[in-house]
Chains A and B, each alone.
Chain A
Amino acid sequence: MSSVKGMGEELSRIALETASKENATYTDFRLVNSRNEATQVVNDNPSSEELTSLGVGVRVLYGGLGWGFADTDEMNRDGIREATLKALALAKGAAKVGIKIQFAKEPSYVDTWMSPVVKDPFNVPMEKKYELLNDCCERMKAEGVVLRRGGFVFTSIEKYFASSEGSKIFQRMIYSGGGLVVAAKGPTGMQRRSDQQWMLKGYELIDELEFPEKAEELKKDVIALNGAVKCPEGKKDIILSADQVGLQVHESCGHPIELDRALGYEANFAGRSFLTPDKLGKLQYGSEHVNMVMDATINHGPGLGTFAYDDEGVKAQRKYAVKNGKFVGFLMSRQTAAMVGEARSNGCMRAEGYRLPIIRMTNVSLEAGDWDYDEMIEDTKDGILMVTNYGWSIDQKRYNFQFNTEKGYIIRNGSVEEMVRSPAYSGITPEFWGSCDAVGNKKSWVLWGTPNCGKGQPQQVMITGHGAAPTRFRNVTVFGAQ
Protein backbone atom coordinates (compact mmCIF):
# COMPACT_ATOMS: atom_id res chain seq x y z
CA MET A 1 0.00 0.00 0.00
CA SER A 2 2.49 2.55 1.15
CA SER A 3 4.63 2.37 -2.01
CA VAL A 4 1.74 3.37 -4.27
CA LYS A 5 0.55 6.00 -1.82
CA GLY A 6 4.08 7.32 -1.45
CA MET A 7 4.58 7.40 -5.21
CA GLY A 8 1.26 9.21 -5.54
CA GLU A 9 2.23 11.80 -2.96
CA GLU A 10 5.54 12.47 -4.67
CA LEU A 11 4.33 12.55 -8.27
CA SER A 12 1.17 14.52 -7.53
CA ARG A 13 3.33 17.35 -6.21
CA ILE A 14 5.06 17.54 -9.61
CA ALA A 15 1.74 17.68 -11.47
CA LEU A 16 0.08 20.17 -9.15
CA GLU A 17 3.12 22.46 -9.03
CA THR A 18 3.60 22.34 -12.81
CA ALA A 19 -0.03 23.24 -13.43
CA SER A 20 -0.03 25.91 -10.75
CA LYS A 21 3.03 27.63 -12.28
CA GLU A 22 1.09 27.85 -15.55
CA ASN A 23 -1.89 29.39 -13.72
CA ALA A 24 -4.28 26.48 -14.09
CA THR A 25 -7.66 27.17 -12.50
CA TYR A 26 -7.97 23.64 -11.15
CA THR A 27 -5.94 20.43 -11.40
CA ASP A 28 -6.49 16.90 -10.26
CA PHE A 29 -4.14 13.95 -10.36
CA ARG A 30 -4.92 10.24 -10.12
CA LEU A 31 -2.35 7.50 -9.87
CA VAL A 32 -3.86 4.05 -10.42
CA ASN A 33 -2.12 0.74 -9.82
CA SER A 34 -4.17 -2.23 -10.97
CA ARG A 35 -3.71 -5.97 -10.99
CA ASN A 36 -6.12 -8.26 -12.77
CA GLU A 37 -6.06 -12.05 -12.87
CA ALA A 38 -8.34 -13.89 -15.29
CA THR A 39 -8.60 -17.67 -15.35
CA GLN A 40 -10.97 -19.68 -17.47
CA VAL A 41 -11.67 -23.11 -18.86
CA VAL A 42 -13.60 -23.51 -22.12
CA ASN A 43 -14.59 -27.11 -22.73
CA ASP A 44 -11.27 -28.72 -21.74
CA ASN A 45 -8.95 -25.84 -22.60
CA PRO A 46 -7.41 -23.78 -19.79
CA SER A 47 -6.26 -20.18 -19.99
CA SER A 48 -4.85 -17.77 -17.45
CA GLU A 49 -3.54 -14.26 -17.76
CA GLU A 50 -2.44 -11.62 -15.31
CA LEU A 51 -2.45 -7.94 -16.25
CA THR A 52 -0.81 -5.18 -14.27
CA SER A 53 -0.80 -1.50 -15.04
CA LEU A 54 0.40 1.63 -13.33
CA GLY A 55 -0.24 5.09 -14.65
CA VAL A 56 -1.29 8.62 -13.97
CA GLY A 57 -4.09 10.78 -15.35
CA VAL A 58 -3.91 14.56 -14.99
CA ARG A 59 -6.95 16.76 -15.57
CA VAL A 60 -6.52 20.51 -15.87
CA LEU A 61 -8.99 23.38 -16.12
CA TYR A 62 -7.50 26.52 -17.60
CA GLY A 63 -8.89 30.04 -17.35
CA GLY A 64 -12.08 28.54 -15.94
CA LEU A 65 -12.95 27.92 -19.59
CA GLY A 66 -11.31 24.79 -20.99
CA TRP A 67 -10.47 21.25 -19.90
CA GLY A 68 -7.44 19.21 -20.89
CA PHE A 69 -6.56 15.67 -19.91
CA ALA A 70 -3.46 13.56 -20.42
CA ASP A 71 -2.44 10.20 -19.09
CA THR A 72 0.90 8.49 -19.05
CA ASP A 73 2.63 5.35 -17.88
CA GLU A 74 5.98 7.16 -17.70
CA MET A 75 6.21 7.06 -13.92
CA ASN A 76 8.96 9.54 -13.20
CA ARG A 77 9.20 13.26 -12.64
CA ASP A 78 9.80 14.07 -16.31
CA GLY A 79 6.97 11.84 -17.47
CA ILE A 80 4.48 13.42 -15.07
CA ARG A 81 5.66 16.93 -15.91
CA GLU A 82 5.32 16.18 -19.63
CA ALA A 83 1.79 14.74 -19.21
CA THR A 84 0.75 17.75 -17.12
CA LEU A 85 2.07 20.14 -19.76
CA LYS A 86 0.20 18.19 -22.45
CA ALA A 87 -3.03 18.45 -20.43
CA LEU A 88 -2.36 22.16 -19.98
CA ALA A 89 -1.76 22.69 -23.69
CA LEU A 90 -5.06 20.98 -24.49
CA ALA A 91 -6.85 22.99 -21.77
CA LYS A 92 -5.46 26.25 -23.13
CA GLY A 93 -6.61 25.31 -26.62
CA ALA A 94 -10.09 24.45 -25.35
CA ALA A 95 -10.21 27.67 -23.30
CA LYS A 96 -9.89 29.74 -26.49
CA VAL A 97 -13.36 28.57 -27.54
CA GLY A 98 -14.74 27.68 -24.10
CA ILE A 99 -17.47 29.05 -21.91
CA LYS A 100 -17.32 29.62 -18.16
CA ILE A 101 -17.18 26.35 -16.24
CA GLN A 102 -18.62 26.27 -12.71
CA PHE A 103 -18.00 23.61 -10.06
CA ALA A 104 -20.29 22.52 -7.24
CA LYS A 105 -18.38 22.90 -3.99
CA GLU A 106 -16.91 19.89 -2.20
CA PRO A 107 -14.79 19.84 0.96
CA SER A 108 -11.21 18.68 0.56
CA TYR A 109 -10.32 15.38 2.21
CA VAL A 110 -7.17 13.69 3.43
CA ASP A 111 -8.15 10.08 3.89
CA THR A 112 -7.37 6.41 3.33
CA TRP A 113 -9.99 3.74 2.65
CA MET A 114 -9.67 0.01 2.05
CA SER A 115 -12.51 -2.22 0.94
CA PRO A 116 -13.31 -5.10 3.31
CA VAL A 117 -11.75 -8.41 2.23
CA VAL A 118 -11.90 -11.70 4.07
CA LYS A 119 -9.79 -13.81 1.73
CA ASP A 120 -7.30 -12.11 -0.61
CA PRO A 121 -7.94 -13.80 -3.99
CA PHE A 122 -4.33 -13.32 -5.05
CA ASN A 123 -3.23 -15.51 -2.13
CA VAL A 124 -5.47 -18.38 -3.21
CA PRO A 125 -3.36 -20.89 -5.16
CA MET A 126 -4.00 -21.05 -8.89
CA GLU A 127 -4.26 -24.84 -8.55
CA LYS A 128 -7.35 -24.41 -6.37
CA LYS A 129 -8.99 -22.07 -8.89
CA TYR A 130 -8.38 -24.47 -11.78
CA GLU A 131 -9.56 -27.40 -9.66
CA LEU A 132 -12.88 -25.65 -9.06
CA LEU A 133 -13.31 -24.60 -12.70
CA ASN A 134 -12.46 -28.06 -14.01
CA ASP A 135 -14.91 -29.59 -11.54
CA CYS A 136 -17.67 -27.25 -12.76
CA CYS A 137 -16.90 -27.90 -16.44
CA GLU A 138 -16.87 -31.65 -15.79
CA ARG A 139 -20.26 -31.42 -14.07
CA MET A 140 -21.73 -29.60 -17.09
CA LYS A 141 -20.90 -32.47 -19.47
CA ALA A 142 -23.93 -34.15 -21.05
CA GLU A 143 -25.29 -35.39 -24.36
CA GLY A 144 -25.89 -32.39 -26.61
CA VAL A 145 -23.78 -29.97 -24.56
CA VAL A 146 -21.39 -28.15 -26.90
CA LEU A 147 -20.00 -25.43 -24.66
CA ARG A 148 -18.90 -25.57 -21.04
CA ARG A 149 -17.26 -22.39 -19.89
CA GLY A 150 -16.21 -21.26 -16.44
CA GLY A 151 -14.08 -18.34 -15.38
CA PHE A 152 -12.96 -16.15 -12.50
CA VAL A 153 -11.62 -12.60 -12.54
CA PHE A 154 -9.95 -10.95 -9.57
CA THR A 155 -8.93 -7.30 -9.54
CA SER A 156 -7.01 -5.16 -7.12
CA ILE A 157 -7.03 -1.38 -7.61
CA GLU A 158 -5.00 1.10 -5.61
CA LYS A 159 -5.57 4.75 -6.42
CA TYR A 160 -4.18 7.97 -5.09
CA PHE A 161 -6.09 11.18 -5.82
CA ALA A 162 -4.81 14.69 -5.19
CA SER A 163 -6.32 17.99 -6.25
CA SER A 164 -5.30 21.62 -6.28
CA GLU A 165 -8.07 22.13 -3.68
CA GLY A 166 -6.08 20.11 -1.16
CA SER A 167 -7.58 16.60 -1.28
CA LYS A 168 -5.21 13.66 -0.80
CA ILE A 169 -7.09 10.37 -0.92
CA PHE A 170 -5.78 6.83 -1.11
CA GLN A 171 -8.20 3.94 -1.75
CA ARG A 172 -7.66 0.22 -2.22
CA MET A 173 -10.38 -2.01 -3.61
CA ILE A 174 -10.48 -5.74 -4.28
CA TYR A 175 -13.11 -7.12 -6.63
CA SER A 176 -13.96 -10.75 -7.31
CA GLY A 177 -16.28 -12.37 -9.78
CA GLY A 178 -16.96 -15.40 -11.83
CA GLY A 179 -19.45 -17.19 -13.97
CA LEU A 180 -20.48 -20.37 -15.71
CA VAL A 181 -21.99 -20.80 -19.17
CA VAL A 182 -23.35 -24.00 -20.66
CA ALA A 183 -24.85 -24.31 -24.15
CA ALA A 184 -26.53 -27.34 -25.69
CA LYS A 185 -27.88 -28.13 -29.12
CA GLY A 186 -31.17 -29.92 -29.58
CA PRO A 187 -34.33 -29.95 -31.63
CA THR A 188 -35.08 -26.31 -30.75
CA GLY A 189 -31.67 -24.98 -31.72
CA MET A 190 -29.01 -23.88 -29.26
CA GLN A 191 -30.03 -23.09 -25.70
CA ARG A 192 -27.85 -21.37 -23.12
CA ARG A 193 -27.87 -21.17 -19.34
CA SER A 194 -25.49 -19.08 -17.30
CA ASP A 195 -24.85 -17.76 -13.84
CA GLN A 196 -22.51 -14.99 -12.73
CA GLN A 197 -21.84 -12.61 -9.88
CA TRP A 198 -19.30 -9.84 -9.26
CA MET A 199 -18.75 -7.91 -6.02
CA LEU A 200 -16.36 -5.77 -4.01
CA LYS A 201 -15.25 -8.82 -2.07
CA GLY A 202 -12.38 -11.25 -1.85
CA TYR A 203 -12.29 -14.93 -2.72
CA GLU A 204 -14.99 -15.49 -0.07
CA LEU A 205 -17.46 -14.55 -2.83
CA ILE A 206 -16.40 -17.58 -4.88
CA ASP A 207 -16.89 -19.80 -1.81
CA GLU A 208 -20.36 -18.31 -1.24
CA LEU A 209 -21.50 -18.81 -4.83
CA GLU A 210 -21.32 -22.63 -4.70
CA PHE A 211 -20.53 -22.94 -8.39
CA PRO A 212 -20.33 -26.78 -8.52
CA GLU A 213 -23.98 -27.07 -7.43
CA LYS A 214 -24.91 -24.35 -9.91
CA ALA A 215 -23.11 -26.21 -12.69
CA GLU A 216 -25.39 -29.23 -12.14
CA GLU A 217 -28.52 -27.03 -12.14
CA LEU A 218 -27.49 -25.17 -15.29
CA LYS A 219 -26.82 -28.45 -17.11
CA LYS A 220 -30.26 -29.80 -16.19
CA ASP A 221 -31.86 -26.53 -17.28
CA VAL A 222 -30.16 -26.37 -20.65
CA ILE A 223 -31.16 -29.92 -21.52
CA ALA A 224 -34.73 -29.27 -20.40
CA LEU A 225 -34.84 -26.05 -22.43
CA ASN A 226 -34.13 -28.00 -25.60
CA GLY A 227 -37.42 -29.81 -25.06
CA ALA A 228 -39.34 -26.84 -23.71
CA VAL A 229 -42.27 -25.21 -25.48
CA LYS A 230 -42.04 -21.80 -27.08
CA CYS A 231 -43.05 -18.89 -24.87
CA PRO A 232 -46.59 -17.71 -25.66
CA GLU A 233 -47.10 -14.33 -27.34
CA GLY A 234 -49.31 -11.50 -26.18
CA LYS A 235 -49.93 -9.35 -23.12
CA LYS A 236 -49.08 -11.11 -19.87
CA ASP A 237 -48.13 -10.37 -16.31
CA ILE A 238 -44.46 -11.14 -15.82
CA ILE A 239 -42.25 -11.81 -12.83
CA LEU A 240 -38.57 -11.17 -13.49
CA SER A 241 -35.80 -12.89 -11.54
CA ALA A 242 -33.68 -10.55 -9.40
CA ASP A 243 -30.67 -10.65 -11.76
CA GLN A 244 -32.86 -9.68 -14.73
CA VAL A 245 -34.39 -6.83 -12.71
CA GLY A 246 -30.84 -5.67 -11.97
CA LEU A 247 -30.09 -5.33 -15.69
CA GLN A 248 -33.47 -3.68 -16.33
CA VAL A 249 -32.60 -1.09 -13.66
CA HIS A 250 -29.16 -0.58 -15.23
CA GLU A 251 -30.48 0.04 -18.74
CA SER A 252 -33.76 1.83 -18.14
CA CYS A 253 -32.93 3.87 -15.03
CA GLY A 254 -29.15 3.92 -14.52
CA HIS A 255 -28.27 5.23 -17.98
CA PRO A 256 -31.02 7.81 -18.43
CA ILE A 257 -30.21 9.44 -15.06
CA GLU A 258 -26.60 10.16 -16.13
CA LEU A 259 -26.65 13.94 -16.13
CA ASP A 260 -24.00 14.34 -18.86
CA ARG A 261 -26.20 12.48 -21.33
CA ALA A 262 -29.35 14.24 -20.06
CA LEU A 263 -27.59 17.53 -20.83
CA GLY A 264 -26.57 16.38 -24.32
CA TYR A 265 -22.82 15.80 -23.90
CA GLU A 266 -23.10 12.13 -24.93
CA ALA A 267 -25.43 12.71 -27.88
CA ASN A 268 -23.02 11.36 -30.49
CA PHE A 269 -22.47 7.90 -28.99
CA ALA A 270 -24.21 6.83 -25.74
CA GLY A 271 -27.14 9.03 -26.67
CA ARG A 272 -29.48 11.39 -24.88
CA SER A 273 -32.09 10.72 -22.20
CA PHE A 274 -35.85 10.99 -21.88
CA LEU A 275 -35.18 12.16 -18.28
CA THR A 276 -34.22 15.77 -18.90
CA PRO A 277 -33.58 18.26 -16.05
CA ASP A 278 -36.97 19.94 -16.55
CA LYS A 279 -38.64 16.64 -15.59
CA LEU A 280 -36.81 16.39 -12.25
CA GLY A 281 -39.31 16.14 -9.39
CA LYS A 282 -42.22 16.17 -11.84
CA LEU A 283 -42.23 13.06 -14.01
CA GLN A 284 -43.92 9.91 -12.74
CA TYR A 285 -41.27 7.40 -13.82
CA GLY A 286 -42.97 4.33 -12.33
CA SER A 287 -45.66 3.17 -9.94
CA GLU A 288 -45.60 4.07 -6.24
CA HIS A 289 -43.88 0.71 -5.58
CA VAL A 290 -40.76 1.83 -7.44
CA ASN A 291 -37.95 3.31 -5.34
CA MET A 292 -34.48 3.48 -6.82
CA VAL A 293 -31.34 4.73 -5.10
CA MET A 294 -27.89 5.77 -6.24
CA ASP A 295 -25.76 4.54 -3.38
CA ALA A 296 -21.96 4.27 -3.43
CA THR A 297 -21.61 3.88 0.35
CA ILE A 298 -20.44 0.65 1.93
CA ASN A 299 -23.70 0.61 3.94
CA HIS A 300 -25.48 -0.33 0.71
CA GLY A 301 -23.28 -3.39 0.42
CA PRO A 302 -20.01 -4.40 -1.24
CA GLY A 303 -21.09 -3.67 -4.81
CA LEU A 304 -19.14 -2.85 -7.94
CA GLY A 305 -20.26 0.76 -7.46
CA THR A 306 -19.10 0.99 -3.84
CA PHE A 307 -16.22 3.29 -2.88
CA ALA A 308 -15.36 6.01 -0.37
CA TYR A 309 -14.64 8.80 -2.90
CA ASP A 310 -15.30 9.14 -6.61
CA ASP A 311 -12.61 9.98 -9.17
CA GLU A 312 -12.90 13.73 -8.65
CA GLY A 313 -12.65 13.45 -4.86
CA VAL A 314 -16.35 13.66 -3.95
CA LYS A 315 -17.37 11.59 -0.94
CA ALA A 316 -19.64 8.58 -1.58
CA GLN A 317 -23.33 9.29 -1.02
CA ARG A 318 -26.78 7.76 -1.09
CA LYS A 319 -29.52 9.64 -2.98
CA TYR A 320 -32.84 8.69 -4.49
CA ALA A 321 -33.20 8.61 -8.26
CA VAL A 322 -36.83 7.52 -8.10
CA LYS A 323 -38.94 7.97 -4.95
CA ASN A 324 -42.42 6.43 -4.82
CA GLY A 325 -42.32 6.31 -8.60
CA LYS A 326 -41.34 9.96 -9.11
CA PHE A 327 -38.07 10.88 -10.86
CA VAL A 328 -36.05 12.86 -8.29
CA GLY A 329 -32.31 12.54 -8.93
CA PHE A 330 -29.42 12.38 -11.40
CA LEU A 331 -25.98 10.80 -11.32
CA MET A 332 -23.75 13.88 -11.32
CA SER A 333 -20.26 15.36 -11.51
CA ARG A 334 -19.23 18.60 -9.85
CA GLN A 335 -19.50 20.47 -13.16
CA THR A 336 -22.88 19.09 -14.21
CA ALA A 337 -24.28 19.53 -10.68
CA ALA A 338 -23.49 23.23 -10.94
CA MET A 339 -25.08 23.38 -14.39
CA VAL A 340 -28.46 22.28 -12.99
CA GLY A 341 -28.19 24.38 -9.83
CA GLU A 342 -27.40 21.56 -7.40
CA ALA A 343 -25.29 22.62 -4.42
CA ARG A 344 -23.23 19.43 -4.43
CA SER A 345 -22.32 16.54 -6.72
CA ASN A 346 -23.46 13.13 -5.54
CA GLY A 347 -20.09 11.65 -6.53
CA CYS A 348 -20.50 9.67 -9.74
CA MET A 349 -17.31 10.47 -11.66
CA ARG A 350 -15.48 7.24 -12.40
CA ALA A 351 -12.71 6.25 -14.81
CA GLU A 352 -11.50 3.00 -16.26
CA GLY A 353 -8.01 2.81 -14.79
CA TYR A 354 -6.21 6.13 -15.05
CA ARG A 355 -8.26 7.42 -17.98
CA LEU A 356 -10.49 10.51 -18.00
CA PRO A 357 -13.29 10.30 -15.39
CA ILE A 358 -16.83 10.60 -16.74
CA ILE A 359 -20.25 10.25 -15.09
CA ARG A 360 -20.96 6.57 -14.43
CA MET A 361 -23.39 4.56 -12.39
CA THR A 362 -22.38 3.71 -8.85
CA ASN A 363 -24.79 1.20 -7.26
CA VAL A 364 -28.15 2.04 -8.83
CA SER A 365 -30.58 -0.22 -7.02
CA LEU A 366 -34.28 -0.96 -6.75
CA GLU A 367 -35.13 -0.90 -3.07
CA ALA A 368 -36.67 -4.04 -1.68
CA GLY A 369 -40.46 -4.10 -1.41
CA ASP A 370 -42.59 -6.11 0.95
CA TRP A 371 -43.56 -9.12 -1.14
CA ASP A 372 -42.48 -12.60 -0.21
CA TYR A 373 -41.44 -14.37 -3.41
CA ASP A 374 -43.83 -17.30 -2.90
CA GLU A 375 -46.71 -14.93 -2.22
CA MET A 376 -45.93 -13.03 -5.41
CA ILE A 377 -46.18 -16.26 -7.41
CA GLU A 378 -49.38 -17.31 -5.60
CA ASP A 379 -50.89 -13.91 -6.37
CA THR A 380 -50.28 -14.25 -10.13
CA LYS A 381 -53.05 -15.88 -12.17
CA ASP A 382 -51.75 -15.79 -15.73
CA GLY A 383 -48.13 -14.89 -16.13
CA ILE A 384 -44.59 -15.76 -17.18
CA LEU A 385 -41.63 -16.08 -14.85
CA MET A 386 -38.47 -15.02 -16.70
CA VAL A 387 -34.99 -15.90 -15.47
CA THR A 388 -31.49 -14.55 -16.33
CA ASN A 389 -30.72 -12.25 -19.21
CA TYR A 390 -29.77 -13.47 -22.69
CA GLY A 391 -29.87 -10.24 -24.70
CA TRP A 392 -30.71 -6.60 -24.11
CA SER A 393 -31.36 -3.62 -26.35
CA ILE A 394 -32.72 -0.14 -25.72
CA ASP A 395 -32.98 3.04 -27.76
CA GLN A 396 -30.61 5.97 -27.29
CA LYS A 397 -33.02 7.91 -25.07
CA ARG A 398 -33.80 4.77 -23.05
CA TYR A 399 -37.48 4.49 -23.95
CA ASN A 400 -38.03 1.47 -26.20
CA PHE A 401 -36.44 -1.73 -24.89
CA GLN A 402 -36.45 -5.44 -25.63
CA PHE A 403 -34.93 -8.05 -23.34
CA ASN A 404 -34.83 -11.78 -23.84
CA THR A 405 -34.07 -14.22 -21.07
CA GLU A 406 -32.60 -17.70 -20.87
CA LYS A 407 -35.52 -19.59 -19.39
CA GLY A 408 -39.06 -19.11 -18.21
CA TYR A 409 -42.05 -20.82 -16.72
CA ILE A 410 -45.74 -20.33 -17.23
CA ILE A 411 -47.49 -19.20 -14.04
CA ARG A 412 -51.04 -20.46 -13.92
CA ASN A 413 -53.40 -19.69 -11.02
CA GLY A 414 -50.59 -19.00 -8.59
CA SER A 415 -48.50 -22.00 -9.51
CA VAL A 416 -45.22 -22.25 -11.49
CA GLU A 417 -45.92 -24.79 -14.24
CA GLU A 418 -44.26 -25.78 -17.52
CA MET A 419 -40.89 -24.45 -18.65
CA VAL A 420 -40.74 -22.19 -21.73
CA ARG A 421 -37.69 -21.44 -23.83
CA SER A 422 -36.29 -18.00 -24.67
CA PRO A 423 -39.00 -15.84 -23.12
CA ALA A 424 -38.74 -12.20 -24.19
CA TYR A 425 -40.51 -8.98 -23.27
CA SER A 426 -40.55 -5.45 -24.59
CA GLY A 427 -41.94 -2.07 -23.62
CA ILE A 428 -41.53 1.64 -23.13
CA THR A 429 -39.66 2.53 -19.92
CA PRO A 430 -42.12 4.74 -17.98
CA GLU A 431 -45.09 2.58 -19.00
CA PHE A 432 -43.21 -0.55 -17.97
CA TRP A 433 -42.15 0.71 -14.53
CA GLY A 434 -45.63 2.19 -14.18
CA SER A 435 -47.00 -1.36 -14.44
CA CYS A 436 -44.87 -2.59 -11.50
CA ASP A 437 -47.14 -3.70 -8.68
CA ALA A 438 -44.96 -6.00 -6.56
CA VAL A 439 -41.31 -5.88 -5.52
CA GLY A 440 -39.68 -8.72 -3.59
CA ASN A 441 -38.65 -8.20 0.01
CA LYS A 442 -35.20 -8.13 1.60
CA LYS A 443 -35.01 -11.94 1.72
CA SER A 444 -34.85 -12.05 -2.08
CA TRP A 445 -32.88 -8.82 -2.66
CA VAL A 446 -29.35 -9.27 -4.07
CA LEU A 447 -26.69 -6.68 -4.94
CA TRP A 448 -25.70 -7.77 -8.46
CA GLY A 449 -22.56 -6.71 -10.29
CA THR A 450 -22.34 -5.62 -13.93
CA PRO A 451 -18.68 -5.86 -15.00
CA ASN A 452 -18.92 -4.55 -18.56
CA CYS A 453 -20.77 -1.25 -18.98
CA GLY A 454 -19.50 0.73 -21.99
CA LYS A 455 -19.66 4.51 -22.33
CA GLY A 456 -17.54 7.41 -23.53
CA GLN A 457 -15.33 8.15 -26.51
CA PRO A 458 -12.84 6.47 -26.57
CA GLN A 459 -15.05 3.88 -24.97
CA GLN A 460 -14.38 3.02 -21.33
CA VAL A 461 -15.59 -0.13 -19.59
CA MET A 462 -16.96 0.39 -16.09
CA ILE A 463 -18.18 -1.85 -13.28
CA THR A 464 -21.54 -1.03 -11.67
CA GLY A 465 -23.75 -2.46 -8.93
CA HIS A 466 -27.51 -3.06 -8.96
CA GLY A 467 -29.52 -4.27 -6.01
CA ALA A 468 -32.74 -5.96 -7.04
CA ALA A 469 -35.36 -8.47 -6.02
CA PRO A 470 -37.87 -10.49 -8.07
CA THR A 471 -40.42 -7.99 -9.36
CA ARG A 472 -43.81 -8.22 -11.05
CA PHE A 473 -45.06 -6.12 -13.96
CA ARG A 474 -48.63 -6.23 -15.26
CA ASN A 475 -49.83 -6.54 -18.83
CA VAL A 476 -46.48 -6.59 -20.64
CA THR A 477 -45.82 -7.58 -24.28
CA VAL A 478 -44.19 -11.03 -24.23
CA PHE A 479 -43.06 -13.44 -26.93
CA GLY A 480 -40.77 -16.36 -27.58
CA ALA A 481 -37.46 -15.34 -29.10
CA GLN A 482 -36.73 -18.85 -30.43
Chain B
Amino acid sequence: MADPLDRIEATAAALALVRQLAATHGPLCFHLSGGCCDGSAPMCFAVGEFKLGQRDVLLGHVDGHEFWIGGDQWERWQHTTITLDVVPGRGASFSLEIPEGVRFLIRSQLCVVPPA
Protein backbone atom coordinates (compact mmCIF):
# COMPACT_ATOMS: atom_id res chain seq x y z
CA MET B 1 0.00 0.00 0.00
CA ALA B 2 1.26 3.50 -0.83
CA ASP B 3 1.98 5.90 1.99
CA PRO B 4 -0.08 8.98 1.15
CA LEU B 5 0.72 10.49 4.52
CA ASP B 6 4.26 9.33 5.18
CA ARG B 7 4.29 10.78 8.69
CA ILE B 8 6.21 8.12 10.57
CA GLU B 9 9.93 7.77 11.03
CA ALA B 10 11.92 5.60 13.41
CA THR B 11 15.13 5.91 15.38
CA ALA B 12 17.90 3.36 14.88
CA ALA B 13 17.12 1.80 18.25
CA ALA B 14 13.43 1.48 17.38
CA LEU B 15 14.29 -0.07 13.99
CA ALA B 16 16.54 -2.63 15.64
CA LEU B 17 13.76 -3.58 18.06
CA VAL B 18 11.20 -3.77 15.24
CA ARG B 19 13.49 -6.19 13.37
CA GLN B 20 14.01 -8.28 16.48
CA LEU B 21 10.24 -8.49 17.13
CA ALA B 22 9.50 -9.27 13.49
CA ALA B 23 12.04 -12.12 13.59
CA THR B 24 10.07 -13.64 16.47
CA HIS B 25 6.48 -12.71 15.64
CA GLY B 26 6.42 -12.22 11.86
CA PRO B 27 4.87 -9.18 10.16
CA LEU B 28 3.86 -6.47 12.62
CA CYS B 29 1.14 -3.84 12.83
CA PHE B 30 1.40 -0.70 14.95
CA HIS B 31 -1.58 1.22 16.28
CA LEU B 32 -1.25 4.47 18.18
CA SER B 33 -3.36 4.44 21.31
CA GLY B 34 -5.21 7.24 23.07
CA GLY B 35 -6.63 7.78 26.53
CA CYS B 36 -5.68 6.60 29.99
CA CYS B 37 -2.53 5.02 31.41
CA ASP B 38 -0.52 3.87 28.40
CA GLY B 39 -2.52 6.04 26.03
CA SER B 40 -0.82 8.14 23.37
CA ALA B 41 1.69 5.30 23.08
CA PRO B 42 2.22 3.02 20.09
CA MET B 43 1.01 -0.55 20.38
CA CYS B 44 2.82 -3.23 18.42
CA PHE B 45 0.96 -6.39 17.42
CA ALA B 46 1.47 -9.34 15.13
CA VAL B 47 -0.46 -8.61 11.94
CA GLY B 48 -4.05 -9.77 12.35
CA GLU B 49 -4.05 -9.57 16.16
CA PHE B 50 -5.67 -6.14 16.22
CA LYS B 51 -8.68 -5.63 13.99
CA LEU B 52 -8.30 -2.39 12.06
CA GLY B 53 -11.45 -0.39 11.54
CA GLN B 54 -12.88 1.60 8.69
CA ARG B 55 -11.86 4.89 10.28
CA ASP B 56 -8.26 4.00 11.11
CA VAL B 57 -5.66 5.96 9.16
CA LEU B 58 -2.39 4.54 7.83
CA LEU B 59 0.38 6.91 8.85
CA GLY B 60 3.10 5.06 7.01
CA HIS B 61 5.44 2.10 7.39
CA VAL B 62 8.28 1.29 9.76
CA ASP B 63 10.71 -1.11 8.12
CA GLY B 64 7.82 -2.32 6.00
CA HIS B 65 5.36 -2.74 8.87
CA GLU B 66 2.14 -0.70 8.85
CA PHE B 67 1.64 2.08 11.39
CA TRP B 68 -1.98 3.15 12.04
CA ILE B 69 -3.84 5.71 14.14
CA GLY B 70 -7.55 6.08 14.93
CA GLY B 71 -9.27 8.47 12.53
CA ASP B 72 -10.62 10.76 15.24
CA GLN B 73 -7.24 10.95 16.87
CA TRP B 74 -5.57 11.66 13.55
CA GLU B 75 -7.67 14.80 13.16
CA ARG B 76 -5.95 16.15 16.26
CA TRP B 77 -2.46 14.96 15.33
CA GLN B 78 -2.27 15.92 11.69
CA HIS B 79 -0.05 18.95 12.20
CA THR B 80 2.74 16.70 13.48
CA THR B 81 5.05 14.04 12.15
CA ILE B 82 6.04 11.32 14.53
CA THR B 83 9.16 9.36 15.21
CA LEU B 84 9.02 5.90 16.73
CA ASP B 85 11.57 5.56 19.51
CA VAL B 86 12.19 3.06 22.28
CA VAL B 87 13.08 3.59 25.95
CA PRO B 88 13.74 1.30 28.89
CA GLY B 89 10.63 0.80 30.96
CA ARG B 90 7.94 -1.51 32.16
CA GLY B 91 4.90 -0.34 30.19
CA ALA B 92 1.52 -2.01 30.48
CA SER B 93 -0.70 -3.08 27.55
CA PHE B 94 -0.56 -5.95 25.04
CA SER B 95 2.29 -4.48 23.00
CA LEU B 96 4.81 -7.14 21.94
CA GLU B 97 7.99 -5.46 23.18
CA ILE B 98 6.96 -5.22 26.83
CA PRO B 99 8.44 -8.57 27.92
CA GLU B 100 11.82 -7.23 26.70
CA GLY B 101 11.74 -4.53 29.42
CA VAL B 102 11.53 -1.72 26.86
CA ARG B 103 8.68 0.36 25.56
CA PHE B 104 8.01 2.01 22.22
CA LEU B 105 7.55 5.75 22.52
CA ILE B 106 6.42 8.49 20.16
CA ARG B 107 8.36 11.69 19.66
CA SER B 108 6.70 14.41 17.64
CA GLN B 109 7.74 17.27 15.42
CA LEU B 110 5.61 20.03 13.96
CA CYS B 111 5.08 19.98 10.23
CA VAL B 112 3.32 22.11 7.67
CA VAL B 113 -0.18 20.86 7.03
CA PRO B 114 -1.24 21.20 3.41
CA PRO B 115 -4.47 23.20 3.07
CA ALA B 116 -7.54 20.98 2.82
Do A and B interact with each other, yes or no?
Answer: no
